[in-house]
Structure 1
């Protein structure tokens, strides 16, 4: 790493860690991200496909001292909201107040193997956020929904106001994020829709009198290995994308069925060849090694995006070398 990258100051960058192997194997990457100055460490919550997200986040918290830590992204189905609230409050204690919650509707790669259907996803996310916040505030809750219930439930600990960021790829989840979130993750959004998503979220934040933190998550692509990883990363994301996105790229129901079947049989590596090459470019940032960071930065400034989230990559150090120099320390970010 370039020593100048790790100078004092916080960068509007986040990294994503996926615990496919032992949790200890991720901790060097977490420490590297903190040394570089990254703002957040997101930990994938992918059910049976990875080690437990909350255990992993606790290990990250104990191995770092400044970087913010949260799931990227959890869902309202695999855990009861009361359990999520307790885990979040505990992580916040362990980390010295660095926890945040990233939450969305959950995808097929996580929910499918557990036999869980996404029942009323917008309602499920909204009520989960309401429950988690209420428990963190110390209130006694009685709630019912299609996915959970609370009966005079109260937590005797927790920090009110822990940041909650919603995530999704469709307009309805973005609308919900604008109404109830502290922030929103624009996850692998087709470039034709990115500006409209940002504008709608900014408008929603202004209407309720508080700004949203907008996070853009996608992959910088500078060579063939990046491109191949992007195809793999798009498998489950395209399968779960709204119909408007599939129509824009010419992805049929037959394509979706084939990708989902391959994902069930062998995960993203087995389905990657079904993602057509021409589908990849609209979802990623393509450039040279000496320009891709500036492309990310200029896009953020042009659209008013606050943070950039790196997805899981094979070589985090190399990815940060591409991005971090484009963000001078102390530079005011859009918002």
Structure 2
């Protein structure tokens, strides 16, 4: 199983990707979350210039944020800067849309978008929004078409699985491992967590800072996909809802997604302090070194071919080192 890493795109991400290469990670992904991050393509271009071996790519692009020509041109640019190292992943927008108050894009839109995007990279004339277009980049402006890069699709249900099967080269999953994961030769799984010391409690300061942001996704996901009742069923859920529902309904998404994948926001901290930390091992890739290796074995048995670990907290360098040591021994 490949061991990769991911970063919520930040100004420091190019340097962290260079560090991941030195440590021995196979690939580094960065998020397409413009409401809280610098531009994903600029960040990847800087990372390409600072690295030589590690695979790089956006994970995941949200198609509604850019015209397919823009993403196709950016993909071609990155492929020229890092030949043979680029993989691209697309998703419907858990954070990249919901944090701005939108719902996820429909799979029918994803289907049409990927057909246009991949057609452009092949050098074909495609139709988008009623117009016919083709990549017209002359020599020196982009690699000659076709530009061949693997494309993964973030799918959890049957509609996404259909699109990924027809238009993708693999799967990019998070929050849960779909039952069809083993159907793909390349199945990346994005996870958060931290390596705990043998006698470390799940409510330690280190666990909160390094494991907490990933743990909070269990609350964010429960609310987005199951509503308030799903959150109330979780330890600390009532306290989390008390903070979130204090915001006007039209701005509630701002309270939910503030600090997403980076730090605990006010609602997350209320839930953590109310005992929510008790689920840290259950909802994240957290545990002792041996516990994490066992969890990785289970993921691999379920069809995951690439584990993607996102470090959190004030010491990402240490988190990257500790996780890689646990994963590879």
Which TM-score band applies after superposition, normalised by the shorter structure? 0.7 to 0.9
- Matching residue of 1:181: 168
In 1, distance between residues paired with 2:317 and 2:5?
Answer: 11
| SS class of match (1:123) | helix
Q: Which one of 133, 136, 155 corresponds to residue 152 of structure 1?
A: 133
1:200 to 170, 177, 180: 180
**Correspondence for 1:272:** 268
> What is aligned with 2:323?
323
**What is the TM-score when the length of structure 1 is the normalising length?**
0.75
Residue 92 in 1 paired to residue 76 in 2? no
Q: Give the drift of 1:33.
A: 0.7
Query: Structure 2 vs 1, CA of residues 200 and 219 (structure 1 numbering), >3 Å: closer, same or farther?
Result: same
SS in 1 for 2:310: coil
Runs of 4+ aligned structure 1 residues displaced above 6 Å come to none
Other-structure match for 1:304:
303
SS in 1 for 2:26: strand
Deviation at 1:328, TM superposition (A): 4.8
SS state at 1:313 partner: coil
2:33 — aligned with what? 46
Listed as ranges, the gaps of 5+ residues in structure 1 are 1-10, 204-210, 330-335
Give the distance between the partners of 2:99 and 2:325, measured in 1 at CA: 41
- Superposed CA RMSD in Å reads 3.3
Contact map agreement 1:169 1:188 (CA 8 A) in 2: no
SS at match of 2:4: strand
Write the mapping of 1:56-95 to structure 2, written as runs, cut at 5 A. 56-95=43-82
The whole-number CA distance in structure 2 between the counterparts of 1:263 and 1:271 is 12
Alignment of 1:240-259 (within 5 A): 240-241=224-225, 246=230, 258=245
Task: Name the CA distance, whole Å, in 2 between partners of 1:313 and 1:153.
Answer: 41
- 1:166-212 per-residue CA deviation (whole Å, 9 max, x = no partner) reads 114445324432332211122121xxxx3xx2x42434xxxxxxx43
The SS at the match of 1:134 is helix
Q: Distance in 2 between matches of 1:174 and 1:318?
A: 36
SS in 2 for 1:47: coil
Task: State whether structure 2 residue 192 is matched by structure 1 residue 219.
Answer: yes
Secondary structure of the 2:295 match is: helix
Instruction: Find the partner of 1:17 among 7, 16, 19.
Output: 7
- Runs (5+) with no aligned partner, structure 2: 138-143, 197-201, 260-264
Rounded to whole Å, the distance in 2 between the matches of 1:232 and 1:54 is 27
Output the CA distance in 2 between the equivalents of 1:282 and 1:174. 26
Q: Are residues 87 and 249 of structure 1, via their aligned partners in 2, closer, same or farther at CA, if it must alter by over 3 Å?
A: farther
Note the alpha carbon deviations across 1:74-133, whole angstroms, 9 max, x for none: 1110101111101111111111232221110013x43356565545x2012122211111
| Change over 3 Å in CA distance of 1:242–1:42 after alignment to 2 | farther
Shift of 1:228: 2.4
**What is aligned with 2:294?**
295
Q: What is the match of residue 231 of structure 1?
A: 215
Q: Quick one: distance in 1 between partners of 2:233 and 2:304?
A: 24
Give the stretch that moved more between structures: 51-60 or 28-37.
28-37
Shift of 1:237: 3.7
Distance 1:17 1:201, change over 3 A: closer
Tell me the number of residue pairs that the alignment of Structure 1 and Structure 2 aligns.
293
User: Partners of 1:50 and 1:295 in 2: how far apart?
Assistant: 33
When residues 310 and 159 of structure 1 are mapped into structure 2, their CA distance, relative to the original with a 3 A threshold, is: farther
